[in-house]
Structure 1
């Protein structure tokens, strides 16, 4: 399907270990269970995110998060050494050696705070960064009646929003649209939309590669104001927040059932493609071959064979691979479901 240069000898498919920086909210047990691992002896219950293929760092909380490959090489250094091999010439021509993607597993051991993320335009103006943080949630596991919240139901004035943030009470969450979710759902969360994830959900998250969050709800989680508002004055930070309303009709455009995909297809609404792509690969009618792409690959169910120019390997639920463009076309066979998390098309 795709003509691959043989000159990209440095970029090679890598199996990734967990990368779970400590966060301010609880979680992590579902990540280790999904990955088929025992929790480490020093697990403190505050490792709710597994950062996959990460060149980004935490905005606060110690600044960790960058992926380290086997042998101890940090991922940004590996990308710099062979950008064409990792991403392909077309991606490099448009984006340089920036992967334009951060992928995570996220386990909500408690409800996350109401927060939002800035847009690219806001980040460029106020945070000296080309990336905002549009994100998407691919639900892998969910407790009964699991709930997420996206967008204000009613339009708020700037004064209304400031009052809710000042109050730091339940009215912030109550102002949002609740969405019941189950395994197999996907939700796109555009930058600027206030949101929260309820307790008891394991998601595969795709996002722009930053850790920019405006923590509208922060007192309950003990967050300092510089952390909560990205080091900005509060009125400036709140300019990044969409005031609503987000209607029921709009919410429907942000949702998809990724579990309904047969053979291969997108896990996300079309609107997501400007920011990232998530491709479900689930051989049903026969082996599936997909084209070369840089991808964080998460095996979400079953077991099978993953074959590329880098050879054939057996994969099973919980495996996580970082696959470069240089791996060429990929053929997936067996009773297996995996999701390829990719940057926007160049």
Structure 2
């Protein structure tokens, strides 16, 4: 098997959503639940209050009928699966995690550590810089899809802590920029930047491969009480404030720096480049009849957004359709995609290894 189709991998989260994700994955039951996220190409275990063995890890059905995790498959042949230069730098870790998520309510105000803080606070080589590519949106209770991104000018650690201890949620939101979003836009959220995905956002998220999320709300909008450990991630309520960067910006500065501009080249549109961040990259491939998937030295992960077609390489052939997720090992080259219909594919790449 050169082309590895990944199984559905829904993950529990504190917030409600997932109805549009159900529709995207062609599920018959379309309802908002606590499983609003699909994790793709994941070698990361989810950090949840009720621990479930291997929750979050992507799985693959092999041709002999057995099921294995992507992580176990990588461990068998890491250099073939991930690429020699990648393994030399990152070992068996893919260095990236892709998600599709659908928010029926605003997520908790949160922050993730950058690499430096992740190393000092969590003894991790990876932080959680991430990016959001907006797929669609829905109006909920009269509110258009939006995000909260970055502090306004005048923020201080003491002011932020005071709002937290008072649980002044509106006060915290007022200290951040509320940005209405549209399909096709892409935003980079670097480690240390406060943020929250707002109601109605259906997005692809690509990130460093950790689940370190510091939350400053003690309960979600739907009334779920967030356990202390899910707020401070084991750091304690004092040290969790070390994860925030307290730089303030105007909205124009936020949009100029972290709303990314795409670049087109033939059938491929670069949504996130290594010039934007060294942590990952993302392309959009549009197939009208056929196109060659460009070769790289490392692995990649495909997500079919719309249409259907066939992926063809030397030793394998796979029919693909909307909602399919495919892991392409580094040794697989010369892939062609053939489609009778217009097919759109998101292709995600690992961190830059050189």
1:275 alignment partner in structure 2: 279
Q: Which moved more, 1:129-138 or 1:11-20?
A: 11-20
- Per the TM alignment, residue 214 of structure 1 is displaced from its structure 2 partner at its CA by 0.6
Q: Give the whole-Å Cα distance in 1 for the aligned partners of 2:261 and 2:25.
A: 23
2:57 alignment partner in structure 1: 66
Q: Give the whole-Å Cα distance in 1 for the aligned partners of 2:233 and 2:241.
A: 11
Q: Is the 8 A contact 2:39 2:58 kept in 1?
A: yes
Q: Give the whole-Å Cα distance in 1 for the aligned partners of 2:154 and 2:331.
A: 48
- Per the TM alignment, residue 306 of structure 1 is displaced from its structure 2 partner at its CA by 2.1
Q: Is the 8 A contact 1:186 1:256 kept in 2?
A: yes
What SS is found at the alignment partner of 2:108?
coil
Q: Give the whole-Å Cα distance in 1 for the aligned partners of 2:237 and 2:276.
A: 29
Q: Give the whole-Å Cα distance in 2 for the aligned partners of 1:116 and 1:271.
A: 23
Q: Give the whole-Å Cα distance in 2 for the aligned partners of 1:246 and 1:309.
A: 51
C-alpha RMSD of the superposition: 2.2
Query: 1:295-340 CA deviation, whole Å, 9 max, x = no partner?
Result: 2210112223322234333322211111111222322343211111
Is the counterpart of residue 323 in structure 1 residue 323 in structure 2? Answer: no
Q: Is the 8 A contact 2:292 2:334 kept in 1?
A: no
Q: Give the whole-Å Cα distance in 2 for the aligned partners of 1:304 and 1:99.
A: 27
Number of aligned positions between the proteins: 334
15, 18, 21: which one aligns with 1:28 = 18
Q: Is the 8 A contact 1:188 1:269 kept in 2?
A: no
Q: Give the whole-Å Cα distance in 1 for the aligned partners of 2:7 and 2:20.
A: 15
Length-normalised TM-score, structure 2: 0.88
Is the counterpart of residue 232 in structure 1 residue 222 in structure 2? Answer: no
Is the counterpart of residue 119 in structure 1 residue 114 in structure 2? Answer: yes
- Per the TM alignment, residue 167 of structure 1 is displaced from its structure 2 partner at its CA by 2.1
Query: 1:257-286 CA deviation, whole Å, 9 max, x = no partner?
Result: 659775113212555441011111113696
Structure 2 unaligned runs (5+)? none
Q: Is the 8 A contact 2:288 2:343 kept in 1?
A: no
Length-normalised TM-score, structure 1: 0.90
Q: Give the whole-Å Cα distance in 2 for the aligned partners of 1:128 and 1:23.
A: 24
50, 68, 72: which one aligns with 2:38 = 50
Q: Is the 8 A contact 1:109 1:199 kept in 2?
A: yes
